Amino acid sequence: MQRGLSLYLDLLRFALALTVMLGHACDPAYVGDSLTLATMPHYGLTAVMGFFVLSGFVIAHVTQGNERDPRTYFAARASRMYSVVLPALLLTAALDALGSKIDPAVYAHGPIRIGEHQPLRYLLTGLFLQNYWLWPKEMTPGINHPFWSLSYEVTYYAIFGLMLVRARLAAAAAIGLLFMLAGPKIIKLLPIWLLGVLTYHTVRHLRLPILVSALLLLGSFVGLYFTGLSLRTADDSPTRYGVDYLEGILFAVNIAAATGFAPAIEWALGPFSRTIRWLGMLTFALYLCHRPLLYFFSAVSAGHAGSWKQSLWLFGMTFAVVIAIAHIGESLRRWMRTRLAYRIDRLPRRADAVPTS
């Protein structure tokens, strides 16, 4: 992958996670009425569509490299997810329990409530089954609603990974079973994830002229601004899927345009590469940990909501803990990947990778 494109994707990834976090943080319960950004919550789903396209693009890239073998692929994906998911679940459980005792009103009247059957919710989330249609409602843990998207993404990982397996009949049966268990809501968004895969294979063989790339890059950002501003609503109505697909296409165009514009991006972002890589490393922890942190530091407040002291405390402490979790996750991922690869290599080799050209 070109260095300029890689830097751009890291920066885009962080921007998407920050958009989700700010969309949640602008609730008056956190920042008061004076600082509420009325349109920010509508960009949360827009950002998730960007994550799906970006995820498909990156997975298509790594499976052309050192993750062609399904064993290596599944070890890499599992270590990537669990290295942050497990600390995030522990953090959510601890902060929800402590914060709700310190200031029950924050948890009783905040935008998300702690639901029933919490042990089951944590178990299902640890297995990435929390949004499968087997359950009567979404089973996200505590007040950590952003976990909803992991059911989608891990299902897409699994489907794509099974396509690497040589035993075609067994892989097809497993994919069919996943489709039945996951349900229509998850399958409806699979095409958006696959747009990322399609974009990767398209730009491998077709590079847009730099001027066209620049215009498409700008146009895609303008389009995404207006979809979030004018077409997005805060609800989960069936009509939202048309907007999801439109934004998926705009993100695919954005990434394809960035590929053609990569030399200019490298020139602009190259001097800041270390900072951008670091911000990219924070992304997953920021996405999964911000909600319980916002709640907790609102319960353990430094002032009234909206004051400069409380805002500095709220966002400063949230980012401080996110940075710590991200660094823990990086160390944990390396350890997990090594251990998983060792365990998987000891399994009988009856389902080898599909050869790739």
Of residues 296 and 340, more confidently modeled: 296
How confident is the prediction for the chain on average, in pLDDT? 87
From the centroid of its chain, how far is CA 149? 7
- Structure confidence at residue 256 (pLDDT): 94
The arithmetic mean of pLDDT across residues 236-264, rounded, is 89
Q: How far is Cα 55 from Cα 74, in angstroms, rounded to an integer?
A: 15
At 288-315, the pLDDT tens digits run: 999 999 999 988 887 777 778 888 999 9
- Structure confidence at residue 138 (pLDDT): 86
Over 90: is that where the pLDDT of 103 sits? no
Q: Tell the burial category of 12 from Cβ atoms under 10 Å away from its Cβ (0-12, 13-18, 19+).
A: buried
| Alpha carbons within 13 A on the beta-carbon side of 88 | 30
At 76-101, the pLDDT tens digits run: 999 999 999 999 999 999 999 999 89
Tokens linked to 137: 């409602």
Q: How far is Cα 189 from Cα 261, in angstroms, rounded to an integer?
A: 28
Instruction: For residue 66, name the pLDDT band (cuts at 50, 70, 90).
Output: confident
- Structure confidence at residue 33 (pLDDT): 58
**Helix axes of 3-25 and 44-62: crossing angle, nearest 10 degrees:** 150
At 207-248, the pLDDT tens digits run: 888 899 999 999 999 999 998 888 877 566 667 889 999 999
> What are the DSSP E strand ranges found in the chain?
none
Q: How far is Cα 250 from Cα 221, in angstroms, rounded to an integer?
A: 8
Q: How far is Cα 357 from Cα 347, in angstroms, rounded to an integer?
A: 26
At 171-215, the pLDDT tens digits run: 899 999 999 999 999 999 999 999 999 999 999 888 888 899 999
DSSP, residue by residue, 237-253:
-TTHHHHHHHHHHHHHH
The arithmetic mean of pLDDT across residues 247-264, rounded, is 94
Residues of the chain above pLDDT 90, percent: 59
